[in-house]
C-alpha cells in the first residue's frame, strides 16, 4: 500500500528528514533455491511464507498475500477491487497475465459522470456507489488457486481469515488515510463502523482492527468459490450496499463478471551488458506498452556513459512521448483497436528518438496534440507484491481499489470496501482524471469495459538475473518501474531498484515531477537550461517490492521500499517480518541518488 502521487494529502510530512531505516524493511539472503516474498505489509508477507511452508507454490502464496493485504490494508486493495497478477510458470516457461480488473456495470454510459451541460461531476467517479466498478479480485483469487495452485482455495485464504478474525493493529498510514477520507466515510454507517471511532475519528494507531464481516465474506469465498462472492447472499448485500450509496450495480453484473487470461506484453531491452526480456501487463493496463516504448527509445543511448542530467533529460523525453501515446490511443483491448505493434516497435521508437534533442527539452505541445488540459495530480493507494517459489515460479501482482478506501462505501454486512476505479476512465474525453491523466474515447465509459490502468507488474530477465517488480503510485507507477528497470539492467540489486530517488514526466502537465532530494539543484539547473520545468512533489511516493533471482546459483535478493512499512523475506523458515514494524509510520527514507 501507500501513497502514490498525493499532493492533496501529505502523509509524509511526519517522515520528512527521517533517517534511513533500511534494515527493518530490507532482507537479503545468500540462501540458494529458496523462496522469497516481498509485500507492502509484514503480515501479508508472513501469510505468503506460511502458505509456502504448508506446501503451496508461488500462486497459492499470491492468493494468500492478496487476501491478507485485503485485510491489513483495507485502504489499498481488497475484495471490492481488482488488479493484475503476472505469473511465470517455470515448468512450462509460460508467462500469463490474470486480468482481474474491475468492469463498468451494464447500466454505465459514456456520459454518466457529466451533467446536462457536459460538465464533469467529478466526485461522482470517486466517491460513493456510482464510482465503483464490478470487482475482479475475488474471481482472480479463485481462478489462481483453482488453475495454478497446489493447495485448496480454502487453505490459501486461511491466513487472511485469521487476520480478519484476530485483528491487526491500525498503522499510521491507515490512520492518516482514514482521516483524509473521514467525511466521505462518515456518510456510510458500515464504513464508519469499520474504520472510525464512535466519535467519527479515525481509529487510533495501534488499535486492533477486527473485521468479523470481512472474515465471513472471505469464508464464503473459501467455501463456495466464485459463487460465494458473485452470487447468493454476499452478492445480494454487495448490490444492496452499492445501490443504497447511489450505485447502479445489479446481481447480473456480479454473476457475469469473469477474469480474463491475457498474453502479457513482452519485448527486449538491449544494453552493453546484454539483452533483457521485459514482460509486463498489457491492456487494460498501459504499463507494458509504455515500458517497452520508453525502453526502446532509451536503448539508442549508452545509458551507463551518460551523466545524471542527461539520464533524467532523456528518460523524461521518453516518458513524455510514451505518456502522450497512452493518452491518444489506449483503452480496454476488448473494446478498442490499439496500434500496439506500432507502439512497441523499435523502429517507431527510433523515430521518436530522432525527435529528441540531446540538450533541449521538447515542449509537450510541440508533439502531435492530444489535449492541452492540465490538472494537478492527485493520489491514492494501491499495493504490489512479488513472490518466487523454490520451483522457480514467479508472481508480480499490483492490486487496487484506487483512492484510499476506494469509493468510501462498505457494503453493509460484507466488510468490503467498494472500489472507485471508474475514475480511471475518461469521464469526458481529454479531461484529466484523478492522476492528471487524459485519455480519449478509447478509454470512455462503456458497459462491461475495464478502465485503463497504470498498474505494471513486471518481470525482467537478463543473461544472469531476473527481476520481479512493481509498485502502486497512480500515473507514476510506469515511470517508477522504468527507473527500477534501468537500475537493474545496469547492475543494480533489489535494494537499488526500490530505494533510489524518483522522477516522472507524463506529457501533461509538461513538467518533470520529482521526489524530495531526487534531483540535485545542480542537475535541476542544467535541466532548466535545456528548457525543462519542474513540479516538486512534496512527499516520497511509491511502495515498490522487488526480488532478484540469480540464474547461476538460485541466490535471491529481495527488498521492500523503505518509503513504506513492507517487508521482504527470503526463505520460508520462520517469519522474518515482525508485525510490530507495521505500525511505525516513520519507517521511510529520504534516499536519493
Q: Which of residues 461-480 bind ligand DON (CB under 6 A)?
A: 472-474, 477
Q: Would you say how long the chain is, in residues?
A: 593
Euclidean distance between CA atoms 330 and 441, whole angstroms: 9
Cα–Cα distance list, 241 to 79, 183, 246, 400, 422 (Å): 14, 18, 9, 20, 17
**In DSSP terms, which residues pair with 567 in a beta bridge?**
39
The span of 221-229, 346-354, 376-384, 511-519 binding ligand DON (CB under 6 A) equals: 376-384
3-state secondary structure of 416: strand
Output the smallest distance, CB 477 to ligand DON, in A.
6
Candidates 211, 382, 393, 489; binder of ligand DON (CB under 6 A) is 382
Output the smallest distance, CB 276 to ligand DON, in A.
24
382 catalytically annotated: yes
Between 288 and 473, whose beta carbon lies closer to ligand DON?
473
Output the smallest distance, CB 101 to ligand DON, in A.
8
The yes or no reply on residue 453 touching ligand DON (CB under 6 A) is yes
Between 401 and 486, whose beta carbon lies closer to ligand DON?
401
The yes or no reply on residue 402 touching ligand DON (CB under 6 A) is yes
How many residues form the binding site for ligand DON (CB under 6 A)? 17
Candidates 271, 296, 386, 454; binder of ligand DON (CB under 6 A) is 454
Output the smallest distance, CB 243 to ligand DON, in A.
23
Candidates 73, 381, 389, 591; binder of ligand DON (CB under 6 A) is 381
Residue 318 has which C-alpha cell? 521518453
Between 217 and 419, whose beta carbon lies closer to ligand DON?
419
Euclidean distance between CA atoms 386 and 395, whole angstroms: 6
Between 394 and 450, whose beta carbon lies closer to ligand DON?
450
Instruction: Name the burial class of residue 366, with classes exposed (0-12), middle (13-18) and buried (19+) by CB atoms within 10 angstroms of its CB.
Output: exposed
For ligand DON, which residue has the nearest CB?
Answer: 4
The yes or no reply on residue 241 touching ligand DON (CB under 6 A) is no
The yes or no reply on residue 506 touching ligand DON (CB under 6 A) is no
Q: Which one-letter DSSP state was computed for residue 421? A: G
323-359 burial code (b ≥16 CB/10 A, e <16): bbbbbbbbbbbebbebebeebbbbebbeebbeebeee
Residue 181 has which C-alpha cell? 477520507
Euclidean distance between CA atoms 419 and 121, whole angstroms: 18
44-73 burial code (b ≥16 CB/10 A, e <16): bbbbbbbbbebebbbbbbbbbbbbbbbbbb
Output the smallest distance, CB 2 to ligand DON, in A.
7
The span of 153-161, 300-308, 351-359, 449-457 binding ligand DON (CB under 6 A) equals: 449-457
188-215 burial code (b ≥16 CB/10 A, e <16): bebbbebbbeeeeebbebebebebebbb
The yes or no reply on residue 458 touching ligand DON (CB under 6 A) is no
For residues 65 to 84, the per-residue mask of contacts with ligand DON, x marking binding by CB under 6 A and - elsewhere, is --------------------
Between 135 and 472, whose beta carbon lies closer to ligand DON?
472
Indicate which residue of 12, 294, 382, 572 is catalytic: 382
The yes or no reply on residue 338 touching ligand DON (CB under 6 A) is no
Between 3 and 219, whose beta carbon lies closer to ligand DON?
3
The yes or no reply on residue 420 touching ligand DON (CB under 6 A) is no
3-state secondary structure of 192: helix
Between 76 and 489, whose beta carbon lies closer to ligand DON?
76
Choose among 153, 124, 109, 141: nearest CA to 449.
109
Candidates 75, 380, 560, 589; binder of ligand DON (CB under 6 A) is 380
Choose among 587, 559, 593, 544: nearest CA to 19.
587
What is the CB-side half-sphere exposure of residue 63 using CA atoms within 13 A?
Answer: 33
Active site residues: 382
Binding site for ligand DON (CB under 6 A): 3-4, 379-382, 400, 402, 421, 424, 453-455, 472-474, 477
Amino acid at each position: 500500500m501507500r501513497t502514490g502521487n498525493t499532493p492533496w494529502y501529505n502523509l509524509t510530512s511526519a517522515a520528512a528528514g527521517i533517517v534511513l531505516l533500511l534494515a527493518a524493511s530490507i532482507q537479503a539472503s545468500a540462501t540458494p533455491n529458496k523462496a522469497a516474498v516481498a509485500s507492502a505489509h509484514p503480515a501479508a508477507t508472513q501469510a505468503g511464507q506460511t502458505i509456502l511452508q504448508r506446501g503451496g507454490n508461488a500462486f497459492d502464496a499470491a492468493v494468500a498475500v492478496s487476501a491478507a493485504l485485503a485485510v491489513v490494508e483495507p485502504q489499498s486493495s481488497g475484495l471490492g477491487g481488482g488488479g493484475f497478477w503476472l505469473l511465470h510458470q517455470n515448468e512450462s516457461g509460460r508467462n500469463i497475465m490474470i486480468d482481474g480488473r474491475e468492469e463498468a456495470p451494464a447500466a454505465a454510459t459514456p456520459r454518466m459522470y457529466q451533467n446536462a451541460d457536459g460538465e464533469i461531476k467529478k466526485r461522482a467517479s470517486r466517491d460513493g456507489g456510482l464510482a465503483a466498478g464490478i470487482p475482479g479480485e475475488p474471481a482472480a483469487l479463485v481462478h489462481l488457486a483453482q488453475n495454478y495452485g497446489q493447495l485448496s482455495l480454502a487453505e490459501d485464504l486461511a491466513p487472511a481469515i485469521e487476520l480478519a478474525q484476530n485483528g491487526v493493529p491500525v498503522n499510521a498510514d491507515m490512520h492518516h488515510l482514514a482521516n483524509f477520507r473521514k467525511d466521505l466515510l462518515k456518510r456510510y454507517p458500515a464504513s464508519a463502523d469499520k474504520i472510525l471511532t464512535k466519535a467519527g475519528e479515525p481509529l487510533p494507531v495501534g488499535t486492533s482492527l477486527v473485521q468479523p464481516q470481512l472474515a465471513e465474506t472471505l469464508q464464503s469465498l473459501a467455501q463456495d468459490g466464485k459463487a460465494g462472492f458473485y452470487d447468493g447472499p454476499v452478492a445480494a448485500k454487495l448490490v444492496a450496499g452499492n445501490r443504497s450509496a447511489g450505485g447502479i450495480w445489479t446481481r447480473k453484473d456480479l454473476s457475469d463478471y469473469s477474469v480474463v487470461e491475457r498474453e502479457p506484453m513482452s519485448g527486449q531491452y538491449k544494453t552493453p551488458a546484454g539483452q533483457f526480456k521485459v514482460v509486463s501487463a498489457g491492456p487494460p493496463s498501459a504499463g507494458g506498452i509504455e515500458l517497452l516504448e520508453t525502453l526502446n527509445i532509451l536503448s539508442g543511448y549508452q545509458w551507463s556513459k551518460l551523466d545524471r542530467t542527461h539520464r533524467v533529460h532523456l528518460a523524461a523525453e521518453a516518458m513524455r512521448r510514451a505518456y502522450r501515446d497512452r493518452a491518444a490511443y489506449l483503452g480496454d483491448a476488448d473494446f478498442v483497436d490499439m496500434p500496439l505493434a506500432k507502439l512497441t516497435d523499435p523502429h517507431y521508437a527510433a523515430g521518436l528518438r530522432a525527435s529528441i534533442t540531446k540538450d533541449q527539452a521538447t515542449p509537450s505541445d510541440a508533439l502531435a496534440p492530444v489535449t492541452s488540459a492540465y490538472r494537478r495530480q492527485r493520489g491514492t493507494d494501491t499495493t504490489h507484491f512479488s513472490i518466487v517459489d523454490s520451483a522457480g515460479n514467479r508472481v508480480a501482482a499490483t492490486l487496487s481499489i484506487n483512492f484510499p478506501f476506494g469509493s468510501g462505501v462498505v457494503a453493509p454486512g460484507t466488510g468490503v470496501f467498494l472500489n472507485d476505479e471508474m475514475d480511471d476512465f475518461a469521464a469526458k474525453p481529454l479531461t484529466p482524471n484523478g492522476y492528471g491523466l487524459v485519455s480519449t474515447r478509447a478509454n470512455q465509459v462503456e458497459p462491461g469495459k475495464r478502465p485503463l490502468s497504470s498498474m505494471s507488474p513486471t518481470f525482467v530477465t537478463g543473461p544472469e538475473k531476473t527481476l520481479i517488480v512493481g509498485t502502486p503510485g497512480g500515473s507514476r507507477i510506469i515511470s517508477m518501474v522504468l527507473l527500477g528497470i534501468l537500475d537493474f539492467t545496469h547492475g543494480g540489486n533489489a535494494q537499488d531498484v526500490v530505494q533510489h530517488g524518483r522522477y516522472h514526466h507524463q506529457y501533461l502537465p509538461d513538467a518533470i515531477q520529482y521526489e524530495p532530494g531526487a534531483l540535485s539543484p545542480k542537475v535541476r539547473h542544467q535541466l532548466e537550461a535545456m528548457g525543462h520545468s519542474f513540479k516538486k512533489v512534496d512527499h516520497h511516493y511509491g511502495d515498490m517490492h522487488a526480488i532478484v533471482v540469480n540464474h547461476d546459483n538460485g541466490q535471491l535478493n529481495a527488498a521492500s521500499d523503505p518509503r513504506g512499512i513492507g517487508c521482504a523475506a527470503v526463505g520460508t523458515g520462520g517469519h522474518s517480518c515482525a508485525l510490530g514494524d507495521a505500525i511505525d509510520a516513520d519507517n521511510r527514507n529520504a534516499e536519493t541518488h
